[in-house]
Amino acid sequence: MQLESMYQEIILDHYKNPHARGLREPFDGESFQVNPTCGDEVTLRVKVTDDGKVEDVSYEGQGCSISQAATSVLTDLVIGRSVDEAMTTMDAFTELMQGRGQVEPDEDVLEDGIAFAGVAKYPARVKCALLGWMAFKDALARTSNGVEAG
Amino acid sequence: MTTTDSLPVDVTALRTDFAILSRTVRDGKPLVYLDSGATSQRPAQVLDAERRFVETSNSAVHRGAHQLSEEATDAYEGARATIASFVGVAPGEVVFTKNATEGINLVAYAMSNAGTAGPESARFAVGPGDEVVVTEMEHHANLVPWQQLCQRTGATLKWFPVTDEGRLDLSGLDSMITERTKVVAFAHQSNVLGTVNPVEPLVRRAHEVGALVVLDACQSVPHGVYGRGAVDFGALGVDFAVFSGHKMLGPSGIGVLYGRRELLEAMPPFLTGGSMIELVRMEGSTFAPPPQRFEAGVPMTSQAVGLAAAVDYLNGVGVDRIAAHEHTLVERALAGLSGIPGVRIIGPADTVDRGATVAFVVDGVHPHDVSQVLDSVGIAVRVGHHCAWPLHRACGVPATVRASFYLYNEPSEVDALVAGVREAQRFFGVGE
């Protein structure tokens, strides 16, 4: 196995220098997610504007490089986008992660997220990559204006 | 460098019995299997015994008058006798369960059933004001069933804390276990820390106040205890104990619950149905004597035969020698790992009262990532909280890497682990 195929440089960069990390106020929805098999956890908040835009995503958590980097990439992909766009991106990322390495990622949609294509070959690590996204989806559903969009 | 010749066990010869140990993983890397604490590998002798049984005598036990049924019953009951003798108890005191988890649940549910089961089982009944005592280092299997028992009955759960050295803090023994205590349940050996807990003071105090002792022996029965040899439930004086087949070279799908005879005789059943009855009428039923009372339905016959073959295998090598062999491995692992800057052992740093399981963390590299690097060079370890989440919280770490050794592991595999951990540090740019 080539370790580098899983741990792309982009992933290690996000792990060492995470984007948008820290919990911020104000927020409209918050979610706490945990991976019961390994104990990794994330608390994630979203702030959504009245016209359905993701204004901010902030988070705290502890976990492996994959889960932390994936959450960092998530913030790049959704902050400043409409909730609808963010959900489309989430679907694309989820499809990539559940594709067992058979799905060709679209860089225009997933940007740095394409670096996780190698992780998709390791079923035990897919949950790590999706932890932050599960929190994002749940936090959106907990906002009053996110429910319809989600 | 230690050669295998000087070890208490001839590992090179013995490894040929385990076909899986000669396979490669991850693009041709020889498998280094250091996860026997989760599940052990099975030798050909166990597989052969199962196959022989299925090919010659397979049929339902304890029913039917045909020859196959007779042979199957003999094989099943013979297995029970072999396994009982291995842990120093009588065959009638051994109940076969699906696994150790089911064994603990069996006792916990029997105790809540005791509330409505008649006067002979009154001693098992628990309710408000009663207490159940466990420890902070329990596997979830020996914690959650007791939490649930307390929730069902209104009893209170209490627990012994763990010291910074990864030992049980028994300083409050007499105030923790009191006249209100109905059950004291604890692990013989921690599945994470490797700590071997002192059974004697806990049994003495529990029996002083009339409490029942339930021992989780999943991590001790397969390996024995260094300097003390094979685990003997009779000598330990515990009331109940559990262990599982797949952690001791045997099949999965079979576990053992030991219960002292007079306790099993008075205890109400957990699962009910066929095989466990004495007399059935539409209005109600009476139950068979133990152990059948606790083995509802058609039992796991070939698994029992396989587990008995595993016991024969362990006896053939010698549990004393297995424990001594593992002791040399854990000494080597502790020395090697603690010699790496940035690596912290979670659990006893010495080898006193300690089995061959080593949990550790690497500063700056998450356990998941450590194990991924180890996996890339063929080393299989366990990572996460190992079904002992509260213990990890108590130790102040979210997760650990755990290497666990068995009779078939070699010193060179310990060295591979140490080198692999250094490689993980290099890959993630931490350490020296």
Distance from CA of B361 to the nearest CA of A (A): 12
* Helix segments in chain A, DSSP class H: 3-6, 9-16, 65-78, 83-97, 107-110, 123-141, 146-149
Would you call B376 and A1 a contact, using CB atoms and an 8 Å cutoff?
A: yes
In a domain, A150, yes or no: no
Q: Which residues contact B322 (CB under 8 A, 6 or more apart)?
A: B8, B9, B223, B224, B314, B406, B407
In a domain, B414, yes or no: yes
How does residue A5 score in pLDDT terms, banded at 50, 70 and 90?
Answer: confident
Instruction: Round to whole Å and give the CA distance between B1 and B113.
Output: 57
Q: Does A70 touch chain B (CB under 8 A)?
A: no
Nearest to B92 by CA among B262, B231, B276, B279: B262
In a domain, B432, yes or no: no
**Statement to judge: residues B307 and B379 lie in one domain:** no
**Which pLDDT tens digit goes with each residue over B229-285?**
999 999 999 999 999 999 999 999 999 999 999 999 999 999 999 999 999 999 999
Model confidence at B6: pLDDT above 70: no
pLDDT of residue B63: 80
Residues of A in contact with B379 (CB under 8 A): none
Q: What average pLDDT does this structure show over B196-221?
A: 98
How does residue B29 score in pLDDT terms, banded at 50, 70 and 90?
Answer: very high
**Statement to judge: residues B35 and B99 lie in one domain:** no
Residue A55 is given by DSSP the state E
**Statement to judge: residues B229 and B302 lie in one domain:** yes
In a domain, B415, yes or no: yes
pLDDT of residue A64: 93
Q: Which among B372, B398, B428 has the least Cβ separation from residue A39?
A: B398
Instruction: Round to whole Å and give the CA distance between B233 and B255.
Output: 15
Residues 134-173 of B with CB under 8 A from A: none
pLDDT of residue A148: 46
Distance from CA of B211 to the nearest CA of A (A): 33
Residue A146 is given by DSSP the state H
Q: How many domains does chain A have?
A: 1
pLDDT of residue B2: 45
SS3 labels along A19-34: CCEECCCCCCEEEEEE
Instruction: Round to whole Å and give the CA distance between B76 and B96.
Output: 10
pLDDT of residue A145: 58
Residues of A in contact with B389 (CB under 8 A): 39
Judge contact between B382 and B424, C-beta under 8 A.
no
Catalytic residue among B150, B218, B387, B395: B387
Q: Which among B376, B383, B384 has the least Cβ separation from residue A3?
A: B376
Q: What average pLDDT does this structure show over A50-62?
A: 95
What DSSP letter does each residue of B41-96 carry, written as one string?
Answer: ---HHHHHHHHHHHHHT-S-TTS--SHHHHHHHHHHHHHHHHHHHHTTS-GGGEEE
Kindly report which listed range (A48-52, A141-145, B415-419, B425-429) carries the lowest average pLDDT score: A141-145
Q: What is the CATH number of the domain that holds B358?
A: 3.90.1150.10
In a domain, A10, yes or no: yes
Nearest to B417 by CA among B29, B20, B76, B33: B33
Model confidence at B4: pLDDT above 70: no
pLDDT of residue A146: 53
What's the token pair of residue B358? 């080593």
Would you call B376 and A63 a contact, using CB atoms and an 8 Å cutoff?
A: no
Residue type, B44: A
Residue B52: HSE in the Cβ half-sphere, 13 Å Cα cutoff: 12
Helical (H) or strand (E) element with B201:
helix B199-208
Would you call B368 and A7 a contact, using CB atoms and an 8 Å cutoff?
A: no
Q: What average pLDDT does this structure show over B281-304?
A: 96
Domain boundary among B271, B287, B315: B315
Distances (CA, A) of B357 to B36, B113, B330, B361: 9, 37, 7, 14
Model confidence at B5: pLDDT above 60: no
Would you call B385 and A65 a contact, using CB atoms and an 8 Å cutoff?
A: no
Q: What average pLDDT does this structure show over A94-102?
A: 93
**Statement to judge: residues B187 and B285 lie in one domain:** yes
pLDDT of residue B1: 42
Q: Could you check whether the bond before residue A26 is cis, i.e. omega within 30 degrees of 0?
A: yes
Q: What average pLDDT does this structure show over A28-56?
A: 93
| Mean pLDDT computed over every residue of chain B | 96
Q: How many domains does chain B have?
A: 2
| Mean pLDDT computed over every residue of chain A | 92
Model confidence at A2: pLDDT above 80: no
What's the token pair of residue B128? 């408000």
Domain boundary among B287, B315, B343: B315
Domain of residue B353: give its range: 4-43+318-427
pLDDT of residue A144: 76
Instruction: Round to whole Å and give the CA distance between B358 and B377.
Output: 19
Model confidence at B344: pLDDT above 60: yes
Model confidence at B156: pLDDT above 70: yes
pLDDT of residue A1: 53
Helix (H, G, I), strand (E, B) or coil at A85: helix
Q: Does B383 touch chain A (CB under 8 A)?
A: yes
Residue type, B121: S
Q: What is the CATH number of the domain that holds A12?
A: 3.90.1010.10
**Statement to judge: residues B20 and B86 lie in one domain:** no
Nearest to B38 by CA among B252, B314, B300, B241: B252
What's this model's pTM, rounded to 2 decimal places? 0.94
Q: Does B428 touch chain A (CB under 8 A)?
A: yes
pLDDT of residue A20: 95
Chain A / chain B CB contacts < 8 angstroms: 49
pLDDT of residue B7: 74
How does residue B432 score in pLDDT terms, banded at 50, 70 and 90?
Answer: low
Would you call A65 and B428 a contact, using CB atoms and an 8 Å cutoff?
A: yes
**Which pLDDT tens digit goes with each residue over B176-186?**
999 999 999 99
Rg of the Cα trace of chain A?
14
Would you call B399 and A38 a contact, using CB atoms and an 8 Å cutoff?
A: yes
Nearest to B324 by CA among B302, B355, B350, B348: B355
Would you call A6 and B372 a contact, using CB atoms and an 8 Å cutoff?
A: yes
Q: Which among A1, A7, A125 has the least Cβ separation from residue B27?
A: A1
pLDDT of residue A36: 85
Q: Does A112 touch chain B (CB under 8 A)?
A: no
Q: Angle B301-317/B44-56 helices, nearest 10 degrees? A: 150
Q: What is the interface pTM, i.e. ipTM, of the complex?
A: 0.88
Model confidence at B64: pLDDT above 80: no
In a domain, A149, yes or no: no
Domain of residue A18: give its range: 3-144
**Statement to judge: residues B34 and B58 lie in one domain:** no
**Statement to judge: residues B10 and B59 lie in one domain:** no
Q: Which among A1, A37, A122 has the least Cβ separation from residue B384?
A: A37
**Statement to judge: residues B107 and B192 lie in one domain:** yes
pLDDT of residue B115: 87
Domain boundary among B315, B347, B373: B315
Q: Does B38 touch chain A (CB under 8 A)?
A: no
Kindly report which listed range (A117-131, B44-58, B400-414) carries the lowest average pLDDT score: A117-131
Residues of A in contact with B373 (CB under 8 A): 3
Distance from CA of A99 to the nearest CA of B (A): 20
Nearest to B243 by CA among B279, B298, B189, B321: B189
Judge contact between B379 and B412, C-beta under 8 A.
no
Judge contact between A65 and B427, C-beta under 8 A.
no
In a domain, B60, yes or no: yes
Helical (H) or strand (E) element with A48:
strand A41-48
- Which of A1, A65, A71, A128 to mutate to probe the B interface, most B CBs <10 Å? A1
Would you call B366 and A37 a contact, using CB atoms and an 8 Å cutoff?
A: no
Distance from CA of B398 to the nearest CA of A (A): 6
**Statement to judge: residues B22 and B121 lie in one domain:** no
Q: What average pLDDT does this structure show over B133-153?
A: 98
Q: B387 an active-site residue?
A: yes
How does residue B216 score in pLDDT terms, banded at 50, 70 and 90?
Answer: very high
